[in-house]
Chains A and B, each alone.
Chain A
Amino acid sequence: DTEVTQTPKHLVMGMTNKKSLKCEQHMGHRAMYWYKQKAKKPPELMFVYSYEKLSINESVPSRFSPECPNSSLLNLHLHALQPEDSALYLCASSQDLSAANYGYTFGSGTRLTVV
């Protein structure tokens, strides 16, 4: 299995809702990442997990709450989002943080619309 699987593919939520995005990989990768991508912009790094521990938070608002329950799974919990948070949310994984000779594998993303 050489894929990163993200669910759901599309999500519409109200500003008072609580929802979660899910990301799964079975490549034995020990680093996982969340990116946010607005239309016609490059992906922006949000969070980095290494060996199931949060390594980097790129000053992301607390309405986004990441969780890494095990080495294969990464969640992004969403609460009280704003319409400007509507974007494509991408998950990625890599072998580990120290190996620059190994790239990232990206999922196909979750298209989030906040109404």
Chain B
Amino acid sequence: DAKTTQPPSMDCAEGRAANLPCNHSTISGNEYVYWYRQIHSQGPQYIIHGLKNNETNEMASLIITEDRKSSTLILPHATLRDTAVYYCIVRVNNFNKFYFGSGTKLNVKP
């Protein structure tokens, strides 16, 4: 699996957009980028995933650079309940493993 690099922590003001970066410079052509978050002591929660194109759902947007070596998760209007650890993961097709990187602790402040 390609490795991911994320900043250990970020702050965001409530109501503002939170932009969480992820570097995956060794990603291969068939590897998907996944984002999960984990609120204190709960199970990881799926947010969004993509391969090449930008993606949007009701929770967030995922922007993947054209060379696919990095991506950004965007929470458009962060709330206090978005305070969590956010994990960026790459997953190769036909491969059994889903490895977590170190993640980014997002602190949303009033």
> Restricting to B73-90, which residues have a CB under 8 Å from any CB of A?
87
Q: Kindly state whether residue A72 has any CB partner on chain B within 8 Å.
A: no
Contacting residues, chain A, for B32 (C-beta < 8 A): 100-101
- Mostly, the A contact residues are strand
In the bound complex, CA of A106 to CA of B44 (Å): 6
> Restricting to A1-58, which residues have a CB under 8 Å from any CB of B?
4, 31, 33, 42-45, 48, 50, 55-56
Contacting residues, chain B, for A100 (C-beta < 8 A): 30-32, 91-95
Q: Are B101 and A103 in touch, CB under 8 angstroms?
A: no
Q: Are B100 and A43 in touch, CB under 8 angstroms?
A: yes
The size bracket of the interface on A is: 20 to 34
Q: B34-62 CB contact bits vs A (8 Å, 1 = yes)?
A: 10100001111110010100000000000
> Restricting to A71-92, which residues have a CB under 8 Å from any CB of B?
88, 90, 92
Q: Are A33 and B94 in touch, CB under 8 angstroms?
A: no
In the bound complex, CA of A54 to CA of B6 (Å): 32
Instruction: How many A-B residue pairs have C-beta atoms within 8 angstroms? Tell me.
Output: 63
Counting chain B CB atoms within 10 Å of each CB, the highest count among A92, A104, A107 belongs to A104
Taking the nearest CB of chain B, how far is it from the CB of A102, in angstroms? 9
Q: Kindly state whether residue A113 has any CB partner on chain B within 8 Å.
A: no
In the bound complex, CA of A111 to CA of B42 (Å): 10
Q: Are B42 and A108 in touch, CB under 8 angstroms?
A: yes
| Chain B: CB-nearest residue to A97 | B96
Q: Are B41 and A109 in touch, CB under 8 angstroms?
A: yes
Chain B residues engaging chain A, CB cutoff 8 angstroms? 30-32, 34, 36, 41-46, 49, 51, 87, 91-103
Chain A residues engaging chain B, CB cutoff 8 angstroms? 4, 31, 33, 42-45, 48, 50, 55-56, 88, 90, 92, 94, 97-101, 103-109, 111
